[in-house]
């Protein structure tokens, strides 16, 4: 550990002590809890549910009224396995009732919002305990990757409010944390070359960003010249990490990529450990279910909707919140020794699923379709109606085999579907700077 690592750790421990946030105390707890026997871990979750749920019953008008109408009893006998008795909280519920979900005794809570895939804002709050757990679990994950406090970090990000609205204090923290922020909105060829020049001079030990941004940079590196350094770890966040993206990123940066899963509403949900055989749920503060449309848990390996219960956000309870993501559970425990349960993989947003002729077609099918087709730089498939698809392509050359693309897509989606193929010079990223390979307008309001 370098002298700066020691200085950084001491400084932030002092700040934590002065502010009374308890981040490092929570981190010490997490380091123990990640290895608890599964039964003890479930008992821990039950104890934390017995703190969150009665408080929601007594102080959140939304949950108080909803549970009263449905005759749901939440008391000291409530168990982790009793969650199935509680209704799901869906995105429209959150949009319509966020003011009533906030507890009437809330103090020290901070407003936040997520535009999601459609740009329709969803409002919510985070409290101090949530913030402390978020930081502690992030530090725990960095420990898994071998990243130390104060290690140089490069960030490829694109949320405007995160990059532009930084205060003087935020900018000071970036300098103290030795973080270089690189705007993933600016992903032109010239800008990417500039980014690579920056990180070659900066030589960060840790790099993270959107999967699509990291992949875009990695492609440029793999086509041109190798990096002048080798980071310890790369973290992919905020988007589904596809196999071909992982291969390209690991090839360019010559290190392992760690997939990290969270959302604006409830961050730090799950992450890969060094075995890379699934994503560990941060079960000390999150309960994650993979459920069908009626809220019933699905067996391991079967894709379903993610429902998250946040055990840390006391003043704005997220209880069985269906966040719009699709995932599958992995059976058994990880060989790393951590007993945090595993997600097999994150399949993406439900709004990334194309639904035709009664079948869900994941966007990954279409990414595989473009393997080995260097004449196409970028694509996006949009489902406008149950029978109308639009395929946008950004060509690198004039040698695009449109007939092949049409034939392959129609063969997959089946009869009765109209496909329009549109050449364009640019595909607009989302408001947060992400690239979506597939968009279904049928699900964009979930």
Tens digit of each residue's pLDDT (9 = 90 or more) over 261-286 = 998 899 999 999 999 999 999 999 99
Predicted confidence band of residue 445 (pLDDT cuts 50, 70, 90): very low
What is the pLDDT averaged over residues 377-383? 87
Whether 399 is covered by a domain: the verdict is yes
Residue 419: is its pLDDT beyond 90? Answer: yes
Banded model confidence at residue 434, pLDDT cuts 50, 70, 90: low
Tokens of 419: 């496909």
Q: Classify each residue of 220-258 as buried b or exposed e, where b means 16 or more C-beta atoms within 10 Å of its C-beta.
A: bbeeeeebeeebbbbbbbbbbbbeebbebbeebbebbbb
- Work out the pLDDT band at 117, boundaries 50, 70, 90: very low
Q: Is residue 173 part of a domain?
A: no
- What pLDDT is stored for residue 374 in this prediction? 74
pLDDT score recorded for residue 202: 96
188 pLDDT above the threshold of 70: no
What confidence category does residue 361 fall into, taking pLDDT thresholds of 50, 70 and 90?
confident
Average pLDDT over residues 278-302: 96
Percentage of the chain lying above the pLDDT 70 cut = 91
Burial class for 406, CB neighbours closer than 10 Å (0-12, 13-18, 19+): middle
- Range with lowest mean pLDDT among 320-329, 405-414, 424-433: 424-433
Q: 52-92 pLDDT, tens per residue?
A: 999 999 999 999 999 999 999 998 889 999 999 999 999 88
Model pTM score:
0.83
Distance between CA atoms of residues 311 and 49, nearest Å = 7
3-state SS string for 291-340: ECCCCCECCCCCCEEEEEEECCCCCCCCCCEEEEEEEEEECCCCCCCCCC
- Mean predicted confidence (pLDDT) in 208-231: 91
Q: Is the residue at 276 inside a domain? A: no
Q: What is the dihedral of CA 271, 273, 274, 275, to 10 degrees?
A: -110
425: phi then psi, degrees, rounded to nearest 5: -90, -15
pLDDT greater than 60 at residue 98:
yes
What are the E-state strand segments in 221-292? 233-237, 257-261, 270-272, 279-281, 286-291
Q: Tell me how long the chain is.
A: 446
Averaged over 420-435, what is the pLDDT? 79
**3-class SS at 379?**
strand
How much is the pLDDT for 42? Answer: 96
Give the range of the structural domain holding residue 413, as residue numbers without chain letter: 354-440
Q: Which two tokens stand for residue 368?
A: 């595989």
- Give residue 237's pLDDT: 87
Q: What is the pLDDT of residue 157?
A: 76
Is residue 394 in a domain?
yes
- Give me 40's structure tokens: 């003890």
Q: What's the confidence (pLDDT) of residue 349?
A: 74
User: Do strands 233-237 and 257-261 pair parallel, antiparallel, or not at all (unpaired)?
Assistant: parallel
Residue 414, domain CATH:
3.30.300.30
Average pLDDT, the chain: 89
Whether the pLDDT of residue 121 is over 70: the answer is no
Predicted local confidence at residue 158, as pLDDT: 63
Residue 432 inside a domain? The answer is yes
- How far apart CA 222 and CA 248 sit, in angstroms, is 8
Average pLDDT over residues 134-141: 97
Please give the residue that has the higher pLDDT: either 395 or 358: 395
Each residue of 364-375: pLDDT tens digit?
677 767 766 778
pLDDT at 446: 44
- Two tokens at 383? 């489902």
Closest to 124 measured CA to CA, from 419, 342, 323: 323
Give the mean model confidence (pLDDT) for residues 102-123.
76
% of the chain at pLDDT higher than 90: 61
Distances (CA, A) of 53 to 119, 216, 381: 31, 44, 42
Greater pLDDT, 96 or 212: 96
Is 414 inside a domain boundary? Answer: yes
In this prediction, residue 119 carries a pLDDT of: 42
Q: Quote the pLDDT of residue 431.
A: 60
**For 63-72, 215-224, 243-252, 423-432, which range has the lowest pLDDT when averaged over its residues?**
423-432
Q: Of residues 61 and 427, which shows the higher confidence score?
A: 61
Residue 371: its pLDDT value, please? 63
Total tally of structural domains belonging to the chain: 1
Please check whether residue 405 lies inside any domain of the structure: yes
For the purposes of burial, counting CB atoms within 10 Å of the CB of 347, is it exposed (0-12), middle (13-18) or buried (19 or more)? buried
Q: Is residue 298 part of a domain?
A: no
Q: Which pLDDT value is given to residue 161?
A: 47
Q: Is the pLDDT of residue 10 over 60?
A: yes
Q: In what order do the strands lie in the sheet with 388-395?
A: 418-423, 388-395, 376-385, 438-440
């Amino acid at each position: 550990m370098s002298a700066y690592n020691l200085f950084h750790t001491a400084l932030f421990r002092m700040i934590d002590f002065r502010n009374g946030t308890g981040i490092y105390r929570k981190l010490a707890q997490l380091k123990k809890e990640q290895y608890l026997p599964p039964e003890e871990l479930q008992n821990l979750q039950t104890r934390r549910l017995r703190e969150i749920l009665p408080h929601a019953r007594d102080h959140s008008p939304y949950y108080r009224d909803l549970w009263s109408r449905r005759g749901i009893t939440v008391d000291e006998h409530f168990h982790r396995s009793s969650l199935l008795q509680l209704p799901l909280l869906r995105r429209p519920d959150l949009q319509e009732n966020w003011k009533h979900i906030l507890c009437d005794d809330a103090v020290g809570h901070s407003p936040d919002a997520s535009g999601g895939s459609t740009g329709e804002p969803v409002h919510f709050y985070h409290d101090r305990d949530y913030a402390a757990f978020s930081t502690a679990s992030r530090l725990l994950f960095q420990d898994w990757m071998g990243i130390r406090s104060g290690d140089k970090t490069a960030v490829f990000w694109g949320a405007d409010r995160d990059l532009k609205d930084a205060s003087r204090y935020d900018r000071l923290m970036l300098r103290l944390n030795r973080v270089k922020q690189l705007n993933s909105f600016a992903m032109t060829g010239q800008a990417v070359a500039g980014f690579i020049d920056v990180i070659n001079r900066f030589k960060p030990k840790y790099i993270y960003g959107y999967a699509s941004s990291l992949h875009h940079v990695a492609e440029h590196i793999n086509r041109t010249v190798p990096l002048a350094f080798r980071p310890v770890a790369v973290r992919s966040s905020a988007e589904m990490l596809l196999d071909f993206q992982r291969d390209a990123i690991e090839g360019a940066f010559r290190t392992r990529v760690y997939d990290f899963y969270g959302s604006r509403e409830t961050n730090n949900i799950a992450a890969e450990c060094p075995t890379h055989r699934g994503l560990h749920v941060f079960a000390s503060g999150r309960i994650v279910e993979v459920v069908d449309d009626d809220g019933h848990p699905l067996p391991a390996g079967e894709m379903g909707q993610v429902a998250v219960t946040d055990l840390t956000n006391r003043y704005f309870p997220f209880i069985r919140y269906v966040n719009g993501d699709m995932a599958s559970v992995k059976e058994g425990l990880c060989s790393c020794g951590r007993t945090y349960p595993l997600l097999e993989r994150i399949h993406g947003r439900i709004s990334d699923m194309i639904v035709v002729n009664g079948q869900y077609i994941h966007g990954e099918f279409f990414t595989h379709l473009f393997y080995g087709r260097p004449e196409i730089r970028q694509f996006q498939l949009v489902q406008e109606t149950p029978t109308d698809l639009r395929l946008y392509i950004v060509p690198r050359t004039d040698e695009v085999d449109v007939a092949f693309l049409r034939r392959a897509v129609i063969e997959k989606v089946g009869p009765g579907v109209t496909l329009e193929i549109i050449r364009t010079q640019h595909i607009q990223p989302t408001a947060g700077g992400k690239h979506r390979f597939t968009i279904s307008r049928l699900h964009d309001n979930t």
